[in-house]
Amino acid sequence: MAHYLVTGHTGFKGSWLTLLLKAKGHKVSGIALDPPQESLFERAKISQDLAHDVRIDVRNREAVIQAFGEIKPDFVIHMAAQALVLEGYRNPRETYEINVNGTLNVLEASEISASVRAQIIVTTDKVYENRGLNRPYVESDPLGGNDPYSASKAMADILAQEHLARKGATPGAVVRAGNVVGAGDYSRGRLIPDFVRANQVGAKLTVRHPEATRPWQHVLDCLGGYLLLLDAVDSRGFRGQWNFGPPASQTLTVKEVLEICKRFLPKSTAFASSGPTGVVENRHLSLNSSKSLTMLGWHNRYLIEDTIRMALEEITLESDLQVRDIVLGQLRNFLANSP
């Protein structure tokens, strides 16, 4: 049984990752800020699954180093971040400080720790320079950012690459994934949660770019790739940058995703474009994951229709079913069908 440290474990992806690692028989600890009042972490009572549940800000270098020393993890998965585009516009300084300085603090804490064997640094598909390309991005494409969130994550990505390439550095790799979808996501400013809230009150949903394409994937497909790579970093010496995104057939427009959502919800929520917003985003964004497919044998297992159905399962089933039961049931199915 290995001991994994997840930064950002109170977030949506961190909550799913904690439960996935526990289901695989591992010991899990986390460092993060307190979760929002409405969160998967709280509703699924995930704190009970943790060996250490440390609430600190990753911008606090001394606190991060102290937490690593107390937890003594074997493996680190760094996901703590300010992860929303619109929040980046509202609070750009905080976005840069969390995403850049927080990443540096985690890398340095891993370096100081005598226990850490391997690590992965999670960035995003939005690290790629927006050049209007109508093809999937590959790991060697230039990085950049036209908004605070994208730019801060590109900076964190470059920082991690430099740090991990140093002689004697703790082994590690950088991962870039697409738009993850799954049950228990209540974040505001994300497409499916916003659509569900609008559906529940019969309101029209306003979206920024209905025709924009994004690489949608189930959160378990994404996290499964992270764990495959982390094992390969430790056992096979893998390094570098890695994309984990769906195939081109699953790269749909915002409008197409919302149309699929409407098939699974009891009411039919209308949606419309907000018109010009001043938010700079790629019209087309997708990832070429050939490297992960070829070298790790990883692939997305869920089609987009199944992904969205599973994400909406807690909404469409009886209200007395708890989100933890739904998430654990999906985890069991995922692991039962794993190679």
Average pLDDT, the chain: 91
pLDDT band for position 319 (cuts 50, 70, 90): very low
Separation of alpha carbons 60 and 322, rounded Å: 35
Residue 208 has pLDDT above 60, yes or no: yes
- Closest of 68, 225, 86 to residue 150, by C-alpha: 86
Residue 271, beta-bridge partner list: 205
| pLDDT of res. 133 | 77
What CATH number does residue 131 fall under? 3.40.50.720
Contacts of 317 (CB under 8 A, 6+ apart): 326
Which pair of tokens denotes residue 164?
Answer: 């991990």
175: which DSSP letter?
E
Reference 257, options 190, 204, 200, 201; nearest CA is 190
Burial of 192 (0-12, 13-18, 19+ CB in 10 A): buried
Name the one residue in this structure whose structure tokens are 């460092």: 31
pLDDT of residue 316: 61
> Which is higher by pLDDT, 188 or 96?
96
pLDDT in tens, 247-298: 888 888 888 998 898 888 766 667 766 655 666 667 788 999 999 999 999 9
Strand-by-strand arrangement of the 251-253 sheet: 179-181, 213-218, 251-253
* pLDDT over threshold 70, residue 220: yes
Rg of the chain, C-alpha, whole Å: 19
Structural domain boundaries enclosing 128: 3-336
Residue 9 has pLDDT above 60, yes or no: yes
From 167, 145, 170, select the one nearest 156 (Cα to Cα). Answer: 145
Find the mean pLDDT for residues 147-159. Answer: 97
Torsions phi, psi for 275 (to 5 deg)? 80, -170
Q: What is the pLDDT of residue 212?
A: 85
Percent of the chain with pLDDT over 90: 68
How many folded domains does the chain comprise?
1
Q: What would the two tokens of residue 287 be? A: 């990832």
Q: What is the pLDDT of residues 52-83, one digit of tens each?
A: 999 999 999 999 999 999 999 999 999 999 98
Q: What is the mean pLDDT of residues 172-180?
A: 95
Mean pLDDT of 228-238: 98
Residue from 309, 289, 307, 286 nearest 299 by CA: 289
